[in-house]
Amino acid sequence: MGTIAFSNVSKIYGGTGGVQALAEVDFHIGEGEFVALLGPSGCGKSTLLNILAGFEGATGGDVRFDGGGVTKPGPDRGVVFQEASLLPWLNVWDNVVFGPKVQGIAKPVYEERARRILDIVGLSQFTEALPVQLSGGMRQRVGIARALVMEPRALLMDEPFGALDAQTRLSMQELLLDVWQKLKTTVLFVTHDIDEAILLADRVCVMKARPGRISRDIPITLPRPRSIDTLTDPAFVGFKAEIMAEMRGAHH
Ligand SMILES: Nc1ncnc2c1ncn2[C@@H]1O[C@H](COP(=O)(O)OP(=O)(O)OP(=O)(O)O)[C@@H](O)[C@H]1O
Ligand SMILES: [Mg+2]
């Protein structure tokens, strides 16, 4: 459940002579694994995620989710972007149950799920609030709740905490670790923050640009559960040095 497999995937925007966003990407994520994609702007991170989400097609190669070919978006893959695209006229509760309603899930089922998920992301007290009344971090938690309420087999996150201040970002990272520990959903997490990638992931895949490809796949063997304290673990610093060295070579 939640396995992801890219085989020899390429993506060219704009036809022949266009931008080669991805070249020969071979990439596998196992059930329940947390993988971070790290790399400089323009190296193809969002392209890879969007292909898996079914928002765009690959130019070549094969993309599989739980063994099936990916052709379009689906509730089995929950997507979270930098800005939670909440419906501004609906309160938190209605935003969270919107997806399951549209999918025709039975009311008692989605209500129970929504209550549980809102509790996990710490928003039980804010079900009546409108998006405009929430902080950026709270809006992002609603965005995560909206994805999780569909019980996706994988969570695809594209710089989900990129717009948050450092303090909120840390608490959201801890929240995500907690959620993942509880639900064991497969996570593909795009970031260009090295600390964030190491803190969260089982593996950090470093990408390089022109053409976009995965240059290193580094298992992060730090013990779990992890927390802010992990950031000062000597082993953490070791991983950081290794990844920085790899990224410094990213332009050559
Ligand atoms: N819709 C598009 N049309 C044309 N070119 C595109 C399109 N989307 C992305 N590209 C190009 O593909 C390459 C990879 O873009 P992508 O958005 O995947 O990078 P990224 O790693 O997510 O960067 P960032 O960290 O800035 O979000 C870039 O050169 C970009 O200009
Ligand atoms: Mg991007």
Spatial separation of the C-alpha atoms in residues 114 and 108, rounded to whole Å: 10
Q: Tokens for 139, please give them.
A: 């809006």
| Residue 46 near ligand 1, beta carbon < 6 Å | yes
Spatial separation of the C-alpha atoms in residues 23 and 212, rounded to whole Å: 6
- Nearest-Å Rg of the Cα atoms of the chain is 18
The pLDDT of 136-150, averaged and rounded, is 94
Residue 178 maps to a domain:
no
Spatial separation of the C-alpha atoms in residues 166 and 6, rounded to whole Å: 33
Q: How confident is the model at residue 16 (pLDDT cuts 50, 70, 90)?
A: confident
Residue 64 maps to a domain:
no
Residue 165 maps to a domain:
no
Q: Judge if pTM exceeds 0.85.
A: yes
The pLDDT of 202-225, averaged and rounded, is 96
Domain count, the chain: 1
Residue 186 maps to a domain:
no
Residue 137 maps to a domain:
yes
In this structure, the residue with its CA closest to atom 24 of ligand 1 is: 41
Say yes or no to pLDDT of 18 above 90: no
Query: Which residues on adjacent β-strands are paired with residue 206?
Result: 38, 216
Residue 146 maps to a domain:
yes
42 Cα to the center of ligand 2, angstroms: 7
- For a ligand 1 pocket test, name from 11, 46, 189 the mutation site with the most ligand atoms within 8 angstroms of its C-beta: 46
In this structure, the residue with its CA closest to atom 14 of ligand 1 is: 44
Residue 241 maps to a domain:
no
Query: Which residues have CB atoms below 5 A from the ion given as ligand 2?
Result: 46
Query: Which residues on adjacent β-strands are paired with residue 60?
Result: 10
Residue 93 maps to a domain:
yes
Write out pLDDT tens, residues 145-168.
Answer: 999 999 999 999 999 999 889 988
Say yes or no to pLDDT of 250 above 60: no
Say yes or no to pLDDT of 134 above 90: yes
pLDDT confidence of residue 67: 96
- DSSP type of residue 42: T
| Residue 44 near ligand 1, beta carbon < 6 Å | yes
Range of 119's domain? 83-151
The pLDDT of 117-130, averaged and rounded, is 95
With DSSP H G I counted as helix, E B as strand and the rest as coil, what are the percentages for the chain, rounded to 5?
A: 40, 25, 35
Spatial separation of the C-alpha atoms in residues 10 and 141, rounded to whole Å: 33
pLDDT confidence of residue 252: 46
CB 36 within 8 A of CB 187: no
- DSSP type of residue 1: -
Spatial separation of the C-alpha atoms in residues 141 and 144, rounded to whole Å: 5
What 3-state DSSP class applies to 5?
strand
In this structure, the residue with its CA closest to atom 9 of ligand 1 is: 47
Beta carbons within 8 Å of 238's beta carbon, 6+ residues apart: none
